[in-house]
Structure 1
Amino acid sequence: MVVLHVKSTTSSPSSPSSEEETEFLHECAATAAVADVAAALAGTAGLQARVLSLCRRLRERCADAGAAGGELERALSEAEAYASKVQVQHNKFLSPRALREHIKNVEKTTASVLQGSSEALCPQHLKSDEKLDSIQLWWAGKELAMDKKLSDYIGTNDKTKIVIRLSLPMSLECAPTRC
């Protein structure tokens, strides 16, 4: 399996001028289609951005949650630690399933701590109806064509690790919902 060290720059919905670089590791076969890899990477990057944004917003809004905030703080810390780019340094892969579980756990904990208040629970959702046509993958200064296989660029060696730059259009990044 090829290890992809994915770097993506996303802009914060609350402050579009500030950009945050996220990183994660992804594993795939060298013979995988670039389009399939791009879709998987975009999904994982979107979930990672959603977890980090949700945690950041809840920390801002729930700073004075009091004694019950300990449980919420633990859930937020766990989610942030899992979605952090520090995981790359420890050679840990991000799982979309685990990211979704962290989102559910944070939302459930927030609802119980705030007694169901929906004010702090303005989640961000990926626009799944958007086309993935404008996602770009870059490696070694070249854009990877979606109609090719990954092996066309890196060869057939399955013990390869490469750094990929993921470029997402603004519409595919997490878009805030109105509260």
Structure 2
Amino acid sequence: MFRLTLLGLISLFIAYPLTAIAETVTVNIQGFVFNPKTISLNEGDSVTWNNQDGAAHSTTQDANLWSSDLNPGGSFSFMFNKAGTYTYHCRFHPSMKATISVSNSGETDPTSCLFKWVESNYAAFFAPAGNLSLLTFPPYTYRYYSETDSYLAVSSVDNHVYYMFGADGIIHDAGPLSDWLGIAGCN
């Protein structure tokens, strides 16, 4: 049943490709830390901060572009419409600092673009989104998604996209990378 659902979703997105997809990245505030501390986005993407601490925190952009005080359990979102590097901090706890890099949509490398698209469109299978690091285990470049115990990879041997759900331990071939780049609008 699970595989049929996944195949159905993949078929849907092959039949109806999306081109420009805005992403929302979540930053959790916990243990007096912004997690993740560094984020890379495209113009039009958003960040949502969730305060999971027992103390009040703020997200205050260093040049006063935005500022929001968050009580425990509170959240705040901001959309980035201009490329640049944005540093921010907690005004209550000055040692809490983080950075957001925003690029023009066309500046993201195709593999990262594809991974972001998959995370956005298949969040039930590849979560949490927003992991910026690509790992390597030759011939694969991949990301691991701890929430869903899954992997998404690209192979340098055949330029195919692969995925694996930790529970089944089977590496599945999703097809040529070039096809998926076209579907995701990452060419």
TM-score tier by shorter-chain length is: under 0.3
Kindly indicate whether structure 1 or structure 2 has the higher relative contact order, using CA contacts under 8 Å at least 6 residues apart.
Answer: 1
Q: Which has the higher strand share?
A: 2
TM-score by length of 1: 0.26
Q: Which has the higher helix share?
A: 1
